[in-house]
Amino acid sequence: MGYPQALLDALRREPGAVAFEHGPRRVTRGEVLELVGRLTAGLRAAGVRPGDGVGLATAVTPEGWAAQLAVQTLGCRAVGVRAGLPPEHLQAVLDGVAAVVVDEASESTRLRAATSATMLRIGPELLAAYEEPVPQGTPGELGWVVFTSGSTGVPKGVAFDFGALAALGVEHRGQPETELAEEYRRFLLFGTLTSAVMVMHLQACLLAGGTVVIPEALPDFPWILPRLDVTAALVTVPRLYRILDVLREENVDLSGLRMLTVAGSPVEPRLLAEAFDRIGPALRQGYGQTETGKLTVLSAADVIAYPPALASVGLPCEGVEVQIRDAAGTVLPAGASGEVFVRTSTAFAGYWRDPAQTSAVRSAGWVRTQDVGQLDERGFLHLTGRSRDVVIVNAVIHYTGPIERALASHEDVDQAYVVAAPDERTGEAAHAFVVAAPGRAPDPDRLRATVAAELGEAAVPATFTVIGEVPVTAAGKPDKTALLALR
């Protein structure tokens, strides 16, 4: 069954059920299927053909998602276009597309300056005709390119073929369909449709028979969860920490929540324990990458059954194989630290127009995550750093992850972030940024002593800066460029 047949079938099953709740709007599954059929016919009439690249520069709306599904139904390569990209990044993302689907929220002037591709606006003309949506893509052809943020240079295009898209979804560990239906009864969708993980959860909700809830404004966590009767949501680590700040001061009823997944980076164990305590069994930590989809999950039940799991990112999801390898590629035993390699049917096909980078990351069906970690005897994955997140001081490599964890273990520190920056004397230097624990005042000398005691003097950051909260990127992750500006 070709992608997106399973989603089309799910929309057909209960045509009168609400698929999207967008403010006061209620869009049924039948209406979404009608949208997909009309957009499919409109794109074909506009000259879009199987194999074409089609940019999607829409807001988070039912129409925006239906446009992506229509593009992929036609056997085309859907290319998400995030709002606010600088001109050079926008040109890189749109390179090779034949058309761009836009709506009223699109930055049309900037888009036209970046590409000569045809602009197709969602409206009466594009929606005039209807055709029954029949998937045209084949497993080996590319169906989706998700571009990274570009925070370290020009964005990388993570390309998935239709075979991976058919398997791509939110993996679970033996959960029955009834449990998934309860969790995904009302999923909160916000941010951008260019986020692979957000779209995967959206689609999992629709496959489970649930309703996708789109807020009218930026979500005010945690109050939005009970206000909109949300049962499932996705948050980044900085957002989870802000939720904890609120829950320490006031009582917010989260009893209706069934799944709050925190992703993007590991949660400091002390704060994760507090989050499990304050939020309850609905909380789970997920680990994955754009290139692979979700890889592991850690739940409150895991920690209750095996307390050392609190320092891990959980057990592998169904269908995911994990290996720890040394620099020579040798598979290491439990307890040994090395680079994390994974194999999964949801893995990406390669980086768009970058075979060299693809071959450096993909090999014989395995994906090199560029994360450093170890598997314990029970199979829980513990991340200890990222091979990319390093600071090289006097030609010696230090992983920033262990430094952050050492700082976060201090009683005066709530959160810790370490960023590398060029240094005239040492080549690079580590700079630490900490958020104080409630009622505490971190002392740099005590923090230096903590890092030195755990990791040695050479790992001690050059500077320490106390901040009120961590600045985040548009993707909700810590903005390390903005942090350096705070020194």
Residues 236 and 299 in one domain: yes
Q: What is the mean pLDDT of residues 316-322?
A: 94
The three-state DSSP-derived secondary structure of the chain is CCCCHHHHHHHHHCCCCEEEEECCEEEEHHHHHHHHHHHHHHHHHCCCCCCCEEEEECCCCHHHHHHHHHHHHCCCEEEECCCCCCHHHHHHHHCCEEEEEECCCCCHHHHHHHCCCEEEECCCCCCCCCCCCCCCCCCCCEEEEEECCCCCCCCCEEEEEHHHHHHCCCCCCCCCHHHHHHHCCEEECCCCCCCHHHHHHHHHHHHCCCEEEECCCCCCCCCHHHHCCCCEEEEEHHHHHHHHHHHHHCCCCCCCCCEEEEECCCCCHHHHHHHHHHHCCCEEEEEEECCCEEEEEEEHHHHHHCHHHHHCCCEECCCCEEEEECCCCCECCCCCCEEEEEECCCCCCEECCCHHHHHHHEECCEEEEEEEEEECCCCCEEEEEECCCEEEECCEEEEHHHHHHHHHCCCCEEEEEEEEEEECCCEEEEEEEEEECCCCCCCHHHHHHHHHHHHCHHHCCCEEEEECCCCECCCCCECHHHHHCCC
pLDDT in tens, 6-23: 999 999 999 999 999 999
Domain boundary among 329, 362, 386: 386
Residues 378 and 395 in one domain: no
What per-residue confidence (pLDDT) applies to 109?
93
The pTM is what? 0.85
12 and 120 share a domain? yes
Domain interval for residue 354: 177-386
Q: Is residue 315 assigned to a domain?
A: yes
Q: Specify if 448 maps to a domain.
A: yes
pLDDT over 70, % of the chain: 95
Q: Are residues 114 and 193 in the same domain?
A: no
Q: Are 10 and 29 within one domain?
A: yes
Q: Is the pLDDT at 315 greater than 60, yes or no?
A: yes
Average pLDDT over residues 357-375: 94
Q: Percent of the chain beyond pLDDT 90?
A: 78
Q: Is the pLDDT of residue 177 over 90?
A: no
Indicate whether 279 belongs to any domain. yes
Looking from the CA of 112 toward its CB, the CA atoms found within 13 Å total: 7
Are residue 376 and residue 401 in the same domain, yes or no? no
End residue of a domain, out of 386, 401, 420: 386
Task: Answer yes or no: do 218 and 279 share one domain.
Answer: yes
460 pLDDT more than 50: yes
Identify which has the larger pLDDT, 90 or 401.
90
Residue 173: pLDDT band with limits 50, 70, 90: low
**pLDDT score of 396 more than 80:** no
Taking 90 as the threshold, does the pLDDT of residue 88 lie above it? no
Neighbouring CB atoms inside 10 A of 38's CB total: 20
Tell which of 386, 407, 441 closes a domain.
Answer: 386
Q: Which of 402-406, 443-447, 469-473 has the highest average model confidence (pLDDT)?
A: 443-447
Same domain, 329 and 239: yes
pLDDT of res. 303: 98
Which pLDDT tens digit goes with each residue over 251-308? Answer: 999 999 999 999 877 788 999 999 999 999 999 999 999 899 999 999 999 999 999 9
For residues 76 and 192, membership in a common domain is answered with: no
User: Is residue 385's pLDDT more than 90?
Assistant: no
Question: pLDDT-based confidence at 324, cuts 50/70/90?
Answer: very high
| pLDDT at residue 237, rounded to an integer | 83
Give the model's pLDDT for residue 484: 93
Question: Tens of pLDDT along 46-84?
Answer: 999 999 999 999 999 999 999 999 999 999 999 999 988
In this prediction, residue 151 carries a pLDDT of 46
Average pLDDT, the chain: 92
Tell me, what amino acid is at 61? T
**Same domain membership, residue 400 and residue 380:** no
- Is 242 exposed, middle or buried (CB count within 10 Å of its CB: 0-12, 13-18, 19+)? middle
Q: Considering the domain boundaries, does residue 172 fall inside one? A: no
How many distinct structural domains can be found in the chain?
A: 3
CATH number of the domain to which 182 belongs: 3.40.50.12780
Does residue 424 have a pLDDT over 80?
A: no
Q: How confident is the model at residue 149 (pLDDT cuts 50, 70, 90)?
A: low
